[in-house]
Amino acid sequence: MIYDCHLHTCFSGDSDTPVRQQVQRAITLGMEEMCITDHHDYDSCFCEDNFELDIPAYLPALRQIQEEYKGSIRINIGIELGLQNHIAEYLRQFSENYGSSFDYVIGSSHFVDRTDPYYPEYWESHGEKEGLEKFFQVSLERVQKLYWAFDSYGHLDYVVRYAPHGEQYYSYKEYIQWIDPLLKVLIQHGKALECNTGAFKYGMSQPNPCTDILKRYHELGGELITVGSDAHTPEYIGSGFDRCREMLLACGFRYYTVFRGRKACMIPL
Ligand SMILES: [Zn+2]
Ligand SMILES: [Zn+2]
């Protein structure tokens, strides 16, 4: 089974799952490797949950658990870093101070103008089409400005999950003016694109990003695909991975990527 490289534990503000429970589940599924990637969204005080990670507590706790399970599974230490352009200086400092302490850094866009599209208010004030346009526009601006801060770009079109009509009217082609340049920046700087299967639990037929975007990344020369379930509870670890594997193969990929010590390792699909 594909190794899960995007999952959360109780170190994230929106999960109560103990780290060991996530590790046990991955072992039960037969994974030989996994990566824990708890949320760190600096300047997210407008959210109900606290998405800022206590790094000085997180790193030693995970190192201890890594050691504890050494014979059973390789646990990589990752983080899901929230990208916002106005915190570029903070992210620069963060990378300098902690960059080498992690195996893997996911860069994700969760907010737009300090609001969270998870809530209906975002769509009420922007409308569906404009809400999506705005999200892809800021995503591109962030990747252009902050590509050095991460290894893989997380769940590119996940905001579609929260749009009033979900994926019903969504087509990548309508947002190509932002998505294509974003993919090109990733490829130019040797950055991976994440295929996130969390979409399936929202009843979506496609992962995030959708297969049209995965295909386009491949067509443009992109080779680095990371895979993650975004599980916040054990039952979702590895969920949808068989389907995801078939989809990646159909898009032309033969390998997926895991990061160890911030270095890309290719694993056959
Ligand atoms: Zn995320
Ligand atoms: Zn996540």
Q: pLDDT value at position 114?
A: 92
Model pLDDT for residues 29-65, shown as the tens digit of each residue = 999 999 999 999 999 988 888 899 999 999 999 999 9
Ligand nearest to the CA of 158: 1
- Measured between alpha carbons, how far is 54 from 142 in angstroms, rounded to an integer? 24
| Mean per-residue pLDDT, 3-29 | 97
Residue 143 CA to ligand 1 center (angstroms) comes to 15
- Measured between alpha carbons, how far is 167 from 45 in angstroms, rounded to an integer? 29
Residue 225's pLDDT band, with cuts at 50, 70 and 90, is: very high
Model pLDDT for residues 126-170, shown as the tens digit of each residue = 999 999 999 999 999 999 999 999 999 999 999 999 999 999 999
pTM of the predicted model as reported, rounded to 2 decimal places? 0.98
Residues whose beta carbons lie less than 5 angstroms from ion ligand 1: 108
- Measured between alpha carbons, how far is 266 from 68 in angstroms, rounded to an integer? 26
Residue 38 CA to ligand 2 center (angstroms) comes to 7
**Percentage with pLDDT > 90 across the chain:** 97
- Measured between alpha carbons, how far is 177 from 51 in angstroms, rounded to an integer? 30
Residue 154 CA to ligand 1 center (angstroms) comes to 7
Answer yes or no: is pLDDT of 260 > 90. yes
Q: For the chain, first and last CA: distance in Å?
A: 9
- Measured between alpha carbons, how far is 81 from 115 in angstroms, rounded to an integer? 17
Q: pLDDT value at position 132?
A: 98
Model pLDDT for residues 99-138, shown as the tens digit of each residue = 999 999 999 999 999 999 999 999 999 999 999 999 999 9
For tokens 């491949």, the residue is 218
Q: Where are the alpha helices (DSSP H) in 29-149?
A: 55-68, 88-98, 120-126, 128-146
Residue 5 CA to ligand 2 center (angstroms) comes to 10
**What is the amino acid identity at position 150?**
F
From residue 110, alpha-carbon distances to 231, 234, 262, 263 in Å are: 16, 23, 23, 25
- Measured between alpha carbons, how far is 243 from 19 in angstroms, rounded to an integer? 26
Sheet holding 152-153, edge to edge: 33-40, 74-82, 104-108, 152-153, 192-196, 225-228
| Mean per-residue pLDDT, 64-76 | 97
Residue 152 CA to ligand 2 center (angstroms) comes to 12
Residue 79 CA to ligand 2 center (angstroms) comes to 9
- Measured between alpha carbons, how far is 163 from 167 in angstroms, rounded to an integer? 8
Residue 175 CA to ligand 2 center (angstroms) comes to 23
Mean pLDDT of the chain: 97
Residue 65 CA to ligand 1 center (angstroms) comes to 23
Q: pLDDT value at position 49?
A: 87
> Which DSSP category does 158 fall into?
G
Residue 153 CA to ligand 1 center (angstroms) comes to 10
